Structures are given as C-alpha cells and as structure tokens.
Chain A
Amino acid sequence: NAGVTQTPKFQVLKTGQSMTLQCAQDMNHNSMYWYRQDPGMGLRLIYYSASEGTTDKGEVPNGYNVSRLNKREFSLRLESAAPSQTSVYFCASSGPSGLVGSEQFFGPGTRLTVL
C-alpha cells in the first residue's frame, strides 16, 4: 500500500496562475482532508470531505476549491494564486467518519511557492 500520495512535491507559481494539487489514498478511507502548514501556525484545515460526494469548508477556505473525484481522490485547486498561499500543503485521510479516535494518515506534502 502506498498510503496517501500527493503530486507534485514542489511547485513555483507566479501570482495569478492556477494549479491543482492532487491527492490519492489506497486505504479505502471515507474521509479526506486538505491542510496547510505555515511556520509558527501549526496545521490549519482548508477543506475536508467526510465521504464521497460531500465537501465542507474548514478554517481557511478562501482562495481554494476542492473536488472529491471519487473515493480515492481529493484535489485542491488554486484558481488565482497569491503570495499568501505560499505554504506546505498536506492531504490526509481517515476511516469511517464520526468514529471517535480515528487516526488520520498524511501524505508527504506539496511545497508551494507563489512569487
């Protein structure tokens, strides 16, 4: 099992450009998440998908959109990148939603720089 995979690993964009971050999991998990990690801020939730076909906003959704393509894949799109979106982005997944104590499994991250 590969677990949670993310592409690309690194990306540099210019302000105003768009891009999509890809995430896939092979653990048959129902729930998937996108976080961003910034120095001194910990991880903050951007969007999550409790199950296939549903998505919900997290703490910092502005400037992002998501698509739960199928049970395996959950993509994050930046329509018009801004320097404030320079960050490391992590995708995660977990088992049945609402199960107390569900562990989240994280991908290796995408380091994004917006110039």
Chain B
Amino acid sequence: GNSVTQMEGPVTLSEEAFLTINCTYTATGYPSLFWYVQYPGEGLQLLLKATKADDKGSNKGFEATYRKETTSFHLEKGSVQVSDSAVYFCAQSNSGYALNFGKGTSLLVTP
C-alpha cells in the first residue's frame, strides 16, 4: 500500500545551520508530494508541494525535489532560524483525496 516514511526526531540545530529532513514514499502510480508544518498549538499548514517527477517545491527558504528514481522528497533549508522550530510532516496523495502522512519530525532550533 501507499506509505510515507520520514526520519524520526527530534532534530536539534543551532541557528543558521543546514537542515535536511529525509522523506521516502511507496506508492502505485505517481503521487503528489507535500511538506506540511505544524507550529506549536496550531493546525497544519502547507509548506510546499510537488506534483510530478523532478519538480522542486520551495517556500520560505525551504526546498524539496520530487525524486522518482529514489522515491524521495527530502526537505532542506540552508540556514534555519529559531522561528522554524515546529513539527514537519511529509505527505503524499495519489488521487487528490485524503493524504497519507509520515509520523512527523520535530525540529528545535536554538539561538
């Protein structure tokens, strides 16, 4: 079946460090891929997405590239800030209906 696996946290980084959160997926067909972010006490909000192979999604300095050959969609940011502290979820959708989420990766950025 379709599933999403992302690296477990928590991830702790110093401000201005480089961030990578790994995400791989299994799916039939060609899913759309998403990264959502959840700030403390809030709901999820879309961070970026990619709908086909080799697409790069980007937003707020974060990037992720849809890699069909490695079935991956790793999230990266060159220089994290304290305000990036949150939980990050990788997700896939095959049909536009419900999303399959990874378990989430907690990120803590310290000054």
Residues of A at the B interface (CB closer than 8 Å) are: 4, 31, 33, 40-45, 48, 50, 58, 90, 92, 94, 96-109
Contact = CB atoms under 8 A, between A and B. Distances in A.
Contact of A103 (B43, B46, B95, B101): B46
Interface of B: 32, 34, 36, 42-46, 49, 51, 89, 93, 95-99, 101-104
Contact of A98 (B97, B99, B104): B97
B43 A100 contact: no
Given A90-B44, A106-B43, A107-B43, A101 B49 contact: yes
Contacts of B101: 42-44
B11 to A, nearest CB: 15
A88 B102 CA distance: 16
Contacts of B45: 106
Contact of B95 (A33, A58, A98): A98
B97 A97 contact: yes
Nearest to A44: B101
A44 B95 CA distance: 17
Given A40-B103, A41-B103, A103-B49, A98 B96 contact: yes
Nearest to A41: B103
